[in-house]
């Protein structure tokens, strides 16, 4: 008898997972609408009646919040996938929650969109679509919770990235907003190494703008943003001091900035460190390739 029950539970679980994957919809929010029905019975109804009517019911109730335990489980699983660099899988996992007003979910979904957008095997068109979707999602997250350091950080990252599709003028116009997000991230979580690095990148890119480009932009913006390689170097050094060896790209920018300041001997230390590092993902590979 126990074997029959166990087998029955296995089949129910398998059927539930198959239904959720087939219709790309989570049964958790539907279960809240129909609390007396078990998940596997909901799966059966969804299969028999078709997903259209159930999705309509779900869409009308998207503003309801996930249960705390469900949200915690989803966030934990999403972070685990991110740490494993499973970005495509992460995007698929979080996409059913796009319309939910959960700021912690939304900035993670923005992060997933961005990470897939910049992968080497992503087509240019899809990359562009995902990049703008990432901006949309993180801005929604911030509207719901303006005090999230992570949302500010990813807002700065995604806005900076979409600027690459829009040219120098747009990049300069967005520059103040991008910097503001990185600064807000640091206000909410002081000395967070990734935010320090990103602020350093902002300083580096602004310092790198040529005199001619700056003159061109000044016809559109009365006061274009300014920065220096010294400011950039300070950010990269502080990031490394806060968490040594946290990010291969920080080593790359330490070297690049020192070279810009004609401190080439110091730069070789970081380049040697970078080139001897074993890459864990595409970003590491790209940094190592640039450093050689």
Q: CB-based burial of residue 49 (10 Å sphere; 0-12 exposed, 13-18 middle, 19+ buried)?
A: exposed
DSSP symbol at 120: T
Whole-number pLDDT of residue 12: 44
Q: Each residue of 255-276: b (16+ CB within 10 Å) or e?
A: bbbbbbeeeeeebeebbebbee
pLDDT in tens, 58-103: 444 444 466 777 899 999 999 999 999 999 999 999 999 999 999 9
φ/ψ bin of 247: left (φ > 0), alpha (ψ from -120 to 50), beta (otherwise):
beta
First to last CA, the chain: 66
Number of other residues whose CB lies within 10 A of the CB of residue 187: 12
Token pair 């992503």 in the structure block, residue: 122
pLDDT in tens, 30-67: 555 555 555 546 555 655 555 444 444 444 444 446 67
């Amino acid at each position: 008898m126990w074997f029959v029950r166990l087998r029955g539970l296995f089949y129910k679980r398998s059927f539930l997972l198959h239904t959720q994957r087939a219709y790309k919809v989570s049964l958790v929010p539907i279960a809240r609408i129909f609390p007396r029905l078990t998940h596997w019975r909901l799966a059966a109804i969804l299969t028999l009646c078709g997903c259209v009517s159930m999705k309509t019911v779900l869409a009308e109730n998207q503003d309801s919040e996930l249960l705390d335990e469900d949200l915690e489980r989803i966030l934990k699983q999403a972070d685990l996938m991110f740490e494993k660099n499973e970005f495509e899988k992460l995007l698929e996992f979080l996409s059913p929650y796009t319309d939910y007003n959960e700021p912690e979910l939304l900035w993670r979904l923005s992060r997933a969109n961005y990470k897939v957008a910049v992968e080497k095997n992503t087509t240019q068109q899809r990359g562009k679509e995902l990049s703008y979707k990432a901006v949309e999602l993180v801005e929604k997250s911030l509207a719901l919770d303006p005090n999230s350091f992570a949302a500010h950080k990813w807002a700065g990252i995604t806005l900076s990235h979409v600027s690459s599709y829009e040219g120098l003028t747009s990049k300069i116009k967005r520059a103040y907003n991008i910097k503001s997000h990185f600064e807000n991230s640091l206000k909410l979580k002081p000395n967070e190494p990734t935010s320090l690095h990103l602020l350093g990148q902002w300083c580096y890119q602004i310092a790198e703008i040529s005199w001619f480009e700056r003159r061109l932009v000044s016809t559109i913006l009365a006061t274009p943003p300014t920065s220096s390689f010294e400011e950039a170097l300070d950010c990269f050094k502080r990031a490394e001091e806060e968490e040594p060896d946290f990010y291969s790209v920080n080593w790359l920018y330490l070297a690049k900035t020192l070279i810009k300041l004609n401190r080439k001997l110091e730069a070789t230390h970081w380049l040697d460190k970078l080139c001897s590092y074993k890459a864990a993902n595409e970003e590491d590979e790209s940094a190592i390739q640039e450093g050689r």
